[in-house]
Amino acid sequence: MSLSFIPIIVSTIISTFGIIFVILNRENYGTMVNTVLNIFLYLFLGLIFLPLYVLSTDVSLDQNISLLLWKSSIIFWIISISILSFIQMFVIKFKEVTPIPAVFYALIGGLVLNLVFHFDAITLQETESYYFFVFNNLALLIILIIYNVMIFSFMWYNIISNFSKFRDKQIGRNLVFLSLNFTINILIYTLHLLFQFIIFEYLYLIAYLIGAFIASYNIYKKPALFIELTNRIYDFIIFHKSGILLYSYNFETGKETDDLLLKGSILIGINHILSSLVDKKEQLNLIKMKDRDIIFEYDNTNGYAILLTTNHKNMFIDKAVRGFMEKFSKLNNEIFEKMKGLIDVSEFMNAKELIFEFFSPYISNN
């Protein structure tokens, strides 16, 4: 077996397991868009681009085939790093992402596609051990280099300008490390485009496989890395149907609060909801306010309501609320059944442990 197949096999294994894991744990990625983009990144970068890139320089292949593989690899490279850029933007601030980058990436991609397959835009040269490629169309080479530089420049701008807003600095540092690895990959690939020395391909493969393994390990161990880092949960409140506060936790201070500290828009939302409870509420409900979302769920059997305030809801928060309610109801079912007259709210302090269990990515860890 040719040595060129080794990185292809390793990349295929990493990418395949990555795709399967992301699909099985899609609710941990905050939004369906983020989930799909992560799947596409594994698909285009690990399963398509890398084999095309590696095989294109293999002298055992026909020259015309190798040239086609090289040109195709350039297209999938553009697609892959564009997806990478979007993933990073969504991880940092999903709600504020505009369609402008998508339009820009589409224009560049279309231009590269038009130039790269133009007759004689790229020609192939052969050495004893590998093929290399000459860019006869200097404009194409310049566009590719500028695009690579712009991608990692945007990545670092997003990190530097938003790092202070990250709710979890440790996860933020992990994102910095991953961004550094991707930057190194982009730079090495750019050097290969410029100088066509095979050593740059080898360096790229080493850097990519190391980065892919680390990124996949982070996906497995720290799925919270891909939940929007600037999104926050502010308050988590449990009310009895009588209007009595059973438990409240403030995510910003990391402390339990009482009803004297609940005020403003939160109280307005609570009063509105409690005054309009009906027996058929079975799904998460959402109240949109100017700068935040209020998520509400009501347990008809035990007669209590959960209210959560956040920048904006996502799939992870929805799943966490449902999981919390299921376990909280099970743990306190007997207490609710025996509840008559005066309510002892100290019996519901087990809520804090459940909050840490289901909402751990939103627990402050600076």
**What radius of gyration, in Å, describes the C-alpha atoms of the chain?**
26
Instruction: List b or e across 6-38, with b for residues whose CB sees 16 or more CB atoms inside 10 angstroms.
Output: ebbebbeebbeebbebbeeebbbbbbeebbebb
- On whether both 212 and 345 belong to a single domain, the answer is no
Which pTM was predicted? 0.84
pLDDT of residue 347: 87
- Number of separate domains in the chain: 2
Cα angle 158, 164, 165; round to 5: 80
Look at residues 226, 254, 270 and tell me which one is the last residue of a structural domain. Answer: 226
- On whether both 208 and 238 belong to a single domain, the answer is no
- On whether both 57 and 168 belong to a single domain, the answer is yes
What is the mean pLDDT of each successive set of 10 residues along the chain, which is 366 residues long? 80 95 82 88 97 95 96 96 90 72 84 89 94 95 94 92 86 88 96 96 96 86 76 89 85 76 53 53 64 85 89 86 94 85 82 92 74
- On whether both 176 and 253 belong to a single domain, the answer is no
pLDDT of residue 48: 97
- On whether both 41 and 187 belong to a single domain, the answer is yes
> What CA–CA distance (Å, rounded) separates 88 from 101?
12
Domain that holds residue 208: 5-226
- On whether both 198 and 267 belong to a single domain, the answer is no
> What CA–CA distance (Å, rounded) separates 337 from 66?
73
SS (H, E, C) the chain: CCCCHHHHHHHHHHHHHHHHHHHHCHHHHCCHHHHHHHHHHHHHHHHHHHHHHHHCCCCCCCHHHHHHHHHHHHHHHHHHHHHHHHHHHHHHHHHHCCCHHHHHHHHHHHHHHHHHCCCCCEEEEECCCCEEEEECCHHHHHHHHHHHHHHHHHHHHHHHHHHHHCCCHHHHHHHHHHHHHHHHHHHHHHHHHHHCCHHHHHHHHHHHHHHHHHHHHHHHHCHHHHCCCCCCEEEEEEEECCCCEEEEEECCCCEECCCCCCCCHHHHHHHHHHCCCCCCCCCCEEEECCCCEEEEEEECCCCEEEEEEECCCCHHHHHHHHHHHHHHHHHCHHHHHHCCCCCCHHHHCCHHHHHHHHCHHHCCCC
- On whether both 78 and 191 belong to a single domain, the answer is yes
CATH (domain of 121): 1.20.1070
Q: Are strands 255-256 and 245-250 parallel, antiparallel or unpaired?
A: antiparallel
Look at residues 226, 243, 275 and tell me which one is the last residue of a structural domain. Answer: 226
- On whether both 144 and 29 belong to a single domain, the answer is yes
- Structure-block tokens of residue 169: 């600095």
CATH (domain of 335): 3.30.450.60
- On whether both 171 and 247 belong to a single domain, the answer is no
- On whether both 213 and 269 belong to a single domain, the answer is no
- On whether both 156 and 246 belong to a single domain, the answer is no
Give whole-number Cα distances, 260 to 245, 257, 263, in Å: 10, 8, 8
Look at residues 204, 226, 248 and tell me which one is the last residue of a structural domain. Answer: 226
- On whether both 136 and 275 belong to a single domain, the answer is no
Cβ neighbours for 222, distance < 8 A, ≥ 6 positions apart: 171, 174
Cβ neighbours for 78, distance < 8 A, ≥ 6 positions apart: 105, 108, 109, 112, 144, 147
